[in-house]
A and B are shown apart, each in its own frame.
Chain A
Amino acid sequence: KAGVTQTPRYLIKTRGQQVTLSCSPISGHRSVSWYQQTPGQGLQFLFEYFSETQRNKGNFPGRFSGRQFSNSRSEMNVSTLELGDSALYLCASSQDRKGEKLFFGSGTQLSVL
């Protein structure tokens, strides 16, 4: 069974641009959640989707958005990038119940110049 796949692995953008990150969950998993990880800040929850519906959202500005498709693949978008958005963005999938037994992808390392 393939694991959680995130693309791309690395991204370099400049301030003001927008970016789209992709996450393919483990086959059969219907929940996908997204996190921002920066040194010393741990894992900050962005949002969670289940069966194409956003079920929960963290405390991030509206520039951060996401969606989930019918095949459970998910994308997150960050518009009007700021220097402080530089981080590792991780997604995780789980089978059914919200937030339990998360399987993480390797992440997308975003650098904003």
Chain B
Amino acid sequence: GENVEQHPSTLSVQEGDSAVIKCTYSDSASNYFPWYKQELGKRPQLIIDIRSNVGEKKDQRIAVTLNKTAKHFSLHITETQPEDSAVYFCAPQGGKLIFGQGTELSVKP
């Protein structure tokens, strides 16, 4: 079946540093690559997404890069702030709606 892995599972950075989370998938039919953010006690929310015909997309401090050949895509957060602290999920789509196991990001002031 499809396999989705996220790394790292936890990440702690100092405010102002950059953070990178990587998502590896196995389904070669995947053509849509989103990242969701879930703050403590809240619902997941889409923060950025990319399609397979695009290699990179940026929205202010966040960006997503895609390497379709290697079957992985990454979330990049620059100039991290305490409000970036949350669990981040990747969810490459091509068939079943499978989410990565999540990365808990902690930004220390």
Contacts and interface: CB of A to CB of B under 8 A. Distances in A.
Interface residues of B, number: 21
B34 A100 contact: yes
A42 B101 contact: yes
A45 B49 contact: no
A96 B96 CA distance: 15
Main secondary structure on B side of the interface with A: loop
Nearest to B93: A99
B89 interface: yes
Contacts of A48: 97
Given A42-B89, A42-B101, A43-B89, A101 B46 contact: yes
Given A104-B44, A107-B43, 11 more contacts: A41-B101, A42-B101, A43-B44, A43-B91, A44-B99, A45-B96, A90-B44, A92-B44, A102-B36, A105-B43, A106-B43
Interface of A: 33, 35, 41-45, 48, 56, 58-59, 90, 92, 98-107
